[in-house]
A and B are shown apart, each in its own frame.
Chain A
Amino acid sequence: MRTHQSMQASLPLAAAGELSREEQFLVEEHLKGCPDCTCEFARLQQVITELRFLPDPRLPDYLLERTLMGAEQHAANSKERRGENILLTGAVAMGWLSNLAVWLFSGYALGNDYASWWLRLAASMVLSWSTAGVAAVLLSCQRRIERRSYVLAS
């Protein structure tokens, strides 16, 4: 036997039609003999009916256009970032490979004695900085080309 309080607690879900068939039946039986719950149930149903017909907010002007423009801009920025990342990854890989090549080649050419280690180290350093310089120049060229194409497009 369910109490009045438990029936009352079930009223919102009953009004929303979200109770099981058995629970709904129990609530309906209770409503037949309880004017308070009947009144509350009717008010809940009324609120639900009106909730379904709340006025829609007005769509802002140019919402579609603004959203499309934002999405296109975002896609263009992502593409640009991807390009830069590929370039940087390539430059780093090239730097490491050339360093390794210089190290191996200089070892073969100069021998593995202590004095030649310093020479080999210096050659590697020069090569690293040169690679970083080339990467920076490449990136700035790419940015310049992109800026030029953006100016032409607009």
Chain B
Amino acid sequence: MNAEIERLQRHDFGALSTFITRYQRRLFRYLVRMVNDSNIAGDLFQQTWIRVMERIRQYNQDKSFESWLFSIAHNLAVDHLRRRQPQSLEESEFVEPLTCPDPSALEQLVSLERSEVLAGAFSSLPALYREVLVLKFEEEMKLEEIADLLGARLSTVKSRLSRGLERLRKQFEESYPQKTKI
């Protein structure tokens, strides 16, 4: 990894290609979850790597490259959300229209639909909560890492995780009540 970082610091585009290939799925997924739009996520993805190349000499190799990369993407996504709608970090700025098919179709496609409904409920959460949930459950980061990446206190991250999960559960149950009763 260190040798690859050094190649990147020499602005070797072959090394950049290796890094993009390695992280593209996760980084793109994170950006889509943040901005709820794959076209914008694509632009932010490109800007993230441009910024990586600009700042790679400032990267401290004692820290994880992954966290550094995601913190760059986080800053760009937050800037975008603030430009688009100043309050969008706090409030849900985009709600995917959810269509609930009739019960017979539900019987056939239960698991696929559940995950579609969950994805819809997830995308309607405020970006602050979505971000922590993505980093925790999809990227499997520790809360300390997330706090470091977001530049927030651990207690703040815990509170966002707790509220995010609670809101997601409620919204999921409202969108899909018949299948969430245990």
Contacts and interface: CB of A to CB of B under 8 A. Distances in A.
Contacts of A132: none
A75 interface: yes
B180 A60 contact: no
Given A12-B165, A47-B165, A55-B119, A63 B28 contact: yes
A39 interface: yes
Chain B interface, DSSP helix/strand/loop, else mixed: helix
A59 B24 contact: yes
Contact of B50 (A52, A55, A58, A71): A71
A68 B41 contact: no
A79 B143 CA distance: 40
B158 interface: yes
A123 to B, nearest CB: 44
Interface of B: 11, 13, 16-17, 20-21, 24-25, 28-29, 32, 38-39, 41-42, 45-46, 49-50, 53-54, 114-116, 118-119, 122, 133, 136-138, 143, 158, 161-163, 165-166, 168-169, 172-173, 180, 182
Contacts of B116: 55
